[in-house]
Amino acid sequence: MKVTIFGSGYVGLVTGACLAEAGNHVVCVDVDAAKVARLNQGEVPIHEPGLDALIRRNHAGGRLEFTTDVAKAVEHGLFQLIAVGTPPGEDGSADLRHVLEVARTIGARLQRHAVVVTKSTVPVGTADQVRATIDAALAARGATIDYDIVSNPEFLKEGAAIQDFMKPDRVVIGTNSTRSTELMRALYEPFTRNHDRLIVMDIRSAELTKYAANTMLATKISFMNELANIAERVGADIERVRVGIGSDPRIGYGFIYPGTGYGGSCFPKDVKALIHSAQQVGIEPEVLHAVEAVNARQKAILVRKLAAVLGAGLRGAKIALWGLAFKPNTDDMREAPSRVIIDALLAAGASVCAYDPIAMDEARRLYAGRPQVSFSADAYGATAGAAALLIATEWQEFRSPDFERLRTLLAHPRIFDGRNLYDPALLVRLGIDYYAIGRGLRAGESAR
């Protein structure tokens, strides 16, 4: 199969590398000449476990190419995949400028039948706009060329994207064409061999499925955080509640871990976009408004707990922060709770010394010129002389630290755990003041 992918961001690179790994000939096209040059030199601009090796192997094998030549790219592919960004506008709507610009590019250069596939996360009705844009470009050059439009939303988790693509839970195909259904089935056949995971539906349903999936997961997170705050006030342990409800197969254990809220490039953007789409058709999505409100409040919960304990002592205090990425196994800090935490601490007059296994370079870029924010080469170094340790990301290396060493390094042995990594009873025995999320210890109460 010959595949063209517009966009060499997260979705484009993972999709291109995985399709090439299955033997397809993939051309990734991007307008950023510097990025294309780095990719052709084997430099991968994002962190995703296993992606570097996958790209280098398939690039060396001639199955994966990177170019800025759009004419070559359109001429190459039977499949024309659109995987460009759809950033949120000021009103929360998805910005489709890049998607429609790609559609114009395809329409201006298409010479034979192709399957045009939207992989970007887009609102319902975008496929109609893509078709209209391609048709207009074809008409402008007096051409009549047959092509199909397909919606094929991605369901890739940062940190596990290659596994998600290679062994998908489902492959959603939105199309009104039997021909394109069979072509898409052939494209994905190497990844669905043990049983058919293709779910074929109409295009608008496929477009809504992506938003529905992400907003459902965001809703579970906010609901669990709301429960955690209730549990804390009534003296219950949310971790025991989580096990109690997760054992119900109708609920399950996925995405019911309380914490400091969701972040990243998908959930915040997609909740906003679905709210906007609903309002455009006269529906006020009250549940989604609540999901957003709970999440915004939850991101600052550790700072509120810390302020309740330190009071005026927060001004001038050094605070250690473990975890900067919005989740483990990525360097992505977009909408990360750590950013809300850092900004709130700086506003309160504190300084921050942070550590993250992967996201330090991104954090240095974001907080360049902010001398109140420093970074440690290791986790323990960040805690030296700190008035408290805050944990914002559940990296594996944070799960079983040397508590005696922490007790010695911290100016006062206090841990504010935004991911409920530790056993409260153990930390009480070790003489550490421990404040978690929804575990019955309210801010201001000592664990000792």
Q: What pLDDT, on a 0 to 100 scale, did the predictor assign at position 441?
A: 54
3-state secondary structure labels for all residues of 413-428: CEEEECCCCCCHHHHH
Residue 90: CA count within 13 A, CB half-sphere: 0
What amino acid occupies position 214? N
**What is the per-residue pLDDT across 328-360, written as a single tens digit (0 to 9) for each?**
999 999 999 999 999 999 999 999 999 999 999
Average pLDDT of the residues of the chain: 95
Confidence class for position 89, pLDDT limits 50, 70, 90: confident
Backbone angles phi, psi at 334, to 5 degrees: -65, 125
Is 353 catalytic? The answer is no
Judged against a pLDDT cut of 70, whether residue 442 lies above it is answered with no
Using alpha carbons, list the distances in angstroms from residue 122 to 3, 11, 88, 162: 21, 13, 11, 22
CA 18/CA 31 separation, integer angstroms: 22
Backbone angles phi, psi at 198, to 5 degrees: -70, 130
Judged against a pLDDT cut of 80, whether residue 430 lies above it is answered with yes
Burial 420-444 (b: 16+ CB within 10 A, else e): bbbebeebeebebbbbbbbbbbebe
Torsion angle of the four alpha carbons 24, 29, 34, 40, in this order, in degrees rounded to the nearest 10: 20
Contact in structure between 443 and 305 (CB atoms under 8 Å): yes
Contacts of 180 (CB under 8 A, 6+ apart): 115, 148, 149, 150
Confidence class for position 215, pLDDT limits 50, 70, 90: very high
Please pick, among 18, 28, 266, 353, the residue that the annotation labels catalytic. Answer: 266
Q: Which two tokens stand for residue 318?
A: 């050094």
Q: Which two tokens stand for residue 327?
A: 């989740």
The residue among 153, 155, 117, 159 whose CA lies nearest residue 134 is: 117
Confidence class for position 364, pLDDT limits 50, 70, 90: very high
Query: Could you tell me how far CA 22 lies from the centroid of its own chain?
Result: 25
Judged against a pLDDT cut of 80, whether residue 440 lies above it is answered with no
Contact in structure between 117 and 152 (CB atoms under 8 Å): yes
Judged against a pLDDT cut of 70, whether residue 232 lies above it is answered with yes
The end-to-end CA distance of the chain, in Å, is 64
**What is the per-residue pLDDT across 384-406, written as a single tens digit (0 to 9) for each?**
999 999 999 999 999 999 999 99
Judged against a pLDDT cut of 90, whether residue 71 lies above it is answered with yes
Backbone angles phi, psi at 135, to 5 degrees: -60, -40
Burial 117-140 (b: 16+ CB within 10 A, else e): bbbbbbbbebbebbbebbeebbee
The residue among 218, 217, 222 whose CA lies nearest residue 169 is: 217
Residues in the chain: 448
